[in-house]
Structure 1
Amino acid sequence: MASATSFYDFKPLDKRGQTVPLADYKGKVVLVVNTASKCGFTPQYEGLEKLYKEIKEKHGDDFQILGFPCNQFGGQEPGSDDEVQSFCQLNYGVTFPIMGKTDVNGDQASPLFEWLKKEKPGLMGMKRVKWNFEKFLVGKDGAVKGRWASTTKPESLAKPILDELAA
């Protein structure tokens, strides 16, 4: 996918292994998060869900969160795709889409995450995802508008998301 120029060029897999054309989200603001069920940051699911509901209430389908479970950081997402889905729904009432398990770094990294990291490198130009619950904000134009570390609480992203929705 070296020719990808926007978020909408990718087709990651959902929890059933089916491709999801991100072109379906054209014109929307999307928060992409690599997630894990057994991480110190796992309670962020609660904040993400609250943020999702509050913004969707005012902006409807113009905003989307996509969770990408990843087992590359300390083996903190060991379950199957079905187990991950159940965990998110039972423990945090997650209603936003949780995709299929995804590698975000290394030789098997998802082309989407390779592109996200290239478009918005981390601290000191780092081109890798550092840990679970790193967040990327994609604007309505399909460009990466922001990137936040795992330590950034979802609630603190309301303003940048609302700014993108207003753009």
Structure 2
Amino acid sequence: MNALAEFYSGNDFVILGFPCNQFGLQEPGSDLGSDNEVMHGIRHVRPGGGFEPKMTLFKKTKVNGDSENELFTFLKGACPYTDEVYSDGLEYSPLKVGDIHWNFEKFLLGKDGKPAFRYHVTNNDPENFKADINALLNA
């Protein structure tokens, strides 16, 4: 995502990140703050090496289940789901068709705030998003 943030710097394009601990308990740290565990983990563990995200990070949230954030209810309802197979290590219930199936699933919204695309967790190459981003920027 940093590569996209750098490539589209100066454009009307923003990347938002929402840490979530519902997938294999991979984000156990405390919420964002001046010296928090989530940011410490990003900088020093995954991906590590002093990594600084070039996106706006929000507090930890739940993206699935009974107490999911309404933003993700909206996003999931607006875009076709990307997977039909549930992984082990899901830390929420109930499981529903259309759930986000693992961390790093992505949504692309237009300037009007309407969801336009949803990308599977394995779709991580920044080049895969540029045509869709360009189309929305030029709309």
Normalising by the smaller structure, the TM-score range is: 0.7 to 0.9
Alignment of 1:108-147 (within 5 A): 108-123=67-82, 126-147=97-118
Tell whether 2:24 aligns with 1:74. yes
User: In proportion to residue count, which structure has more helix?
Assistant: 1
User: In proportion to residue count, which structure has more strand?
Assistant: 1
The CA RMSD measured in Å over matched residues stands at: 1.7
Conservation of the 8 A alpha-carbon contact between 1:85 and 1:98: no
Conservation of the 8 A alpha-carbon contact between 1:121 and 1:128: no
Aligned partner of 1:17 in structure 2 is none
Aligned partner of 1:88 in structure 2 is 42
Specify the code of the residue in structure 1 equivalent to 2:122.
T
Aligned length: 117
Conservation of the 8 A alpha-carbon contact between 2:82 and 2:120: no
Q: Which of structure 1's runs of 4+ aligned residues deviate more than 3 A? A: 123-126
Of structures 1 and 2, the larger Rg is shown by 2
> How far apart, CA to CA, are the structure 2 residues paired with 1:95 and 1:123?
25
> How far apart, CA to CA, are the structure 2 residues paired with 1:161 and 1:134?
16
Specify the code of the residue in structure 2 equivalent to 1:153.
N
Q: Which has the higher contact order (CA 8 A, sep 6+)?
A: 1
Deviations 1:107-129 (A, max 9, x none): 11000001100111304783211
> How far apart, CA to CA, are the structure 2 residues paired with 1:153 and 1:122?
17
Q: CA deviation at 1:86?
A: 2.9
> How far apart, CA to CA, are the structure 1 residues paired with 2:82 and 2:129?
18
SS at match of 1:85: helix
SS at match of 2:67: coil
Q: CA deviation at 1:162?
A: 1.6
Paired residue for 2:130, among 158, 161, 166? 158
Tell whether 2:15 aligns with 1:50. no
Specify the code of the residue in structure 1 equivalent to 2:103.
N
> How far apart, CA to CA, are the structure 2 residues paired with 1:55 and 1:88?
22
Percent identity, please. Answer: 41
TM-score (norm 2): 0.77
Conservation of the 8 A alpha-carbon contact between 1:51 and 1:154: no
SS at match of 2:62: coil
Gap regions ≥5 residues in structure 2: 85-96
